[in-house]
Amino acid sequence: MSTDDFRIKQIDTSLHNEDLAPLPPGKRKWGWFEIFNVWSNDIQSLFGYTLAATLFISYGLNGWAVLAGIVLAGFIVMGLVQLTGRPSVKYGIPFPVMARASMGVRGANFPAVVRGIVAIFWYGVQTYFASTAVALLLNSLLGSGSSATFLGMTAIGWVSYVIVCAFQVALFIRGIDWITKFLNWAGPLVYLVMIALMLMIWYKAGPSLLSELGEIFRGTGEYAAGPVAAFIAVVGTMVAYFAAVVINYGDFARFVKSEKQMTVGNFLGLPVSLAIFSLIALVITAGTVVVFGETLTNPTDIVARVDNLTLTIIAALTFFAATVGINLVANFIPPAYDIANLAPAHISARTGGFITAAIAFFIGALWVSFISNVGIAAFVDTLGAVLAPLYGILVADYYLVRRQHLNLQDLFSAEAGSTYYYNGGWNRNAMIAFGVASVFSVASVWTPGLNELSGYSWLFGALLGALFHYVLMRKHCGAKGASAALGSRS
């Protein structure tokens, strides 16, 4: 495709602005290393480390089985994002625009809003967790200070939180090139710090570390539903961890020079990086049992226990960088595009970012004192379950219905009769497919008998969404073909 193919000839300002416009190949600067660092920062966040460490000790499985489950999840996620990333590499469009093909040029606002709500919530939460790394740094340099709290945070905690909020917005304002540079140094640096922390813990633990590792790798088989269910739960939990990025992966894939570069970056950043980082987390976790007499899965807790100011400073900065990195990638850029898609003529991606930051500020500020105590997980899980069928619809539409071909001009056209106008800009078939499939995925969150499916119901919800959409769209296309044939005879 030439550069001219990416130019929208008749611009509908209600659907178009510079942030949503197709990105021509000449403006794409990302290679495999940038994609690798998107995943590295995701895995290496404070929450990602805690999740990986916890999986080894929570299911009673043989450690090798847990590692195999984590790596398998990496391959599954890689396959999922290859599907959503390919059209964005080909056409240079972000997720909200890609969704117009399946949902309609107006109906695409629905998945964008749902994805935006999930992202804004997690943006606030991850901002709080990133602030704990800054608080660790300030406490190490200045001393603990007053223990008095307001809304669950000390004065240093509040200062740290405001610093992180301001830093993230400032980085976002500088644009995607600055964000890319930030991710490119943060990812490798966190690896170096984790390796240094692992070696220090190993040195302090001595030979006893190997015996503790042996206990973890032996497994205890205490998971009530059995080892097979435990293995599936490990895989499902890791897939669910990446689910929020999977659906809007096109927001990043559009910056990649070629599909090959994207594939290499996905492979190194997902199954390979997951395996290495999980092993590092396992060794450190086993070492904490020997050194501190208890299992510690939060890296800031571990660093705080290690009496080394230099390591504390470096680790605090790098954990902060990694958490901010994934926050920008998974939870800031997507809702900025999603909000811009609601009214492109009036809202740019930058304005969408400001709206995201403003709402998320209150979510993170209230996390300790209120939100974390009111069962908010079910609310977020429900929104995540809603996203699952939307992923299936998006993929089935592009690969099975459209046969990997889009009318780029009509993605930005709201004229009646244009390819993606459907019924007033909404594809009713896609909405029906979504409604039916989401009943199952949402039921897995709220129905007691389906609780064990909650870890991997995302996959089933996506499959059902794809199936229903494909069947309904085949009937729709068949009916249109029959009408056209009758018209030609008359």
H or E element in which residue 482 lies = helix 457-489
Mean predicted lDDT score pLDDT of the chain: 84
Domain assignment of residue 11, yes or no? no
The predicted pLDDT at position 484 comes to 39
Confidence of residue 448 (pLDDT cuts 50, 70, 90): confident
Domain assignment of residue 353, yes or no? yes
Q: Does residue 88 register a pLDDT over 50?
A: yes
> Distance between CA atoms of 408 and 402, rounded to whole angstroms?
12
> Distance between CA atoms of 92 and 342, rounded to whole angstroms?
19
- According to DSSP, residue 374 is labeled T
Q: What is the mean pLDDT of the segment spanning 350-365?
A: 92
Domain assignment of residue 217, yes or no? yes
**Residues of the chain with pLDDT > 90: what percent?**
33
Domain assignment of residue 327, yes or no? yes
- According to DSSP, residue 91 is labeled H
More confident residue, 482 or 475: 475
The predicted pLDDT at position 179 comes to 84
More confident residue, 243 or 356: 356
Provide the residue range defining the domain that includes 66: 17-480
Confidence of residue 483 (pLDDT cuts 50, 70, 90): very low
- According to DSSP, residue 269 is labeled I
The backbone region for 145, taken as left when phi is positive above 0, alpha when psi lies in -120 to 50, beta otherwise, is: left
Domain assignment of residue 125, yes or no? yes
pLDDT in tens, 52-86: 888 887 777 788 888 899 999 999 999 999 999 99
Domain assignment of residue 490, yes or no? no
The predicted pLDDT at position 15 comes to 87
Domain assignment of residue 225, yes or no? yes
**30 pairs with which residues across the strands?**
256
Confidence of residue 393 (pLDDT cuts 50, 70, 90): very high
Tokens of 261: 């570069």
- Count of structural domains within the chain: 1
More confident residue, 189 or 384: 189
> Distance between CA atoms of 119 and 125, rounded to whole angstroms?
10
End-to-end CA distance of the chain: 39
Confidence of residue 385 (pLDDT cuts 50, 70, 90): confident
Q: Is 391 exposed, middle or buried (0-12, 13-18, 19+ CB in 10 A)?
A: buried
> Distance between CA atoms of 398 and 403, rounded to whole angstroms?
6
pLDDT in tens, 428-442: 999 999 999 988 888
pTM: 0.84
Q: Which of 304, 319, 393 is nearest to 83 (CA)?
A: 393
Tokens of 363: 């979510």
Measured CA to CA in angstroms, residue 73 lies from 114, 149, 272, 274, 384 at distances of 24, 40, 11, 9, 17
For residues 127 and 45, the answer to whether their CB atoms sit within 8 Å is no
Query: Which single residue is written with the structure tokens 């690896």?
Result: 191
User: Within a 10 A sphere around the Cβ of 149, how many other Cβ atoms?
Assistant: 13
CATH of the domain at 122: 1.10.4160.10
Confidence of residue 132 (pLDDT cuts 50, 70, 90): confident
Q: Does residue 326 register a pLDDT over 90?
A: no
Q: Which of 136, 175, 170 is nearest to 156 (CA)?
A: 136
Max distance between CA atoms of the chain, in angstroms, equals: 88
Tokens of 67: 């590692």
Q: Does residue 411 register a pLDDT over 90?
A: yes
The predicted pLDDT at position 6 comes to 76
pLDDT in tens, 17-57: 888 899 999 899 999 999 998 888 778 777 777 788 888 87
Q: What is the mean pLDDT of the segment spanning 451-472?
A: 82
Tokens of 421: 């106008």
Tokens of 247: 């659906």
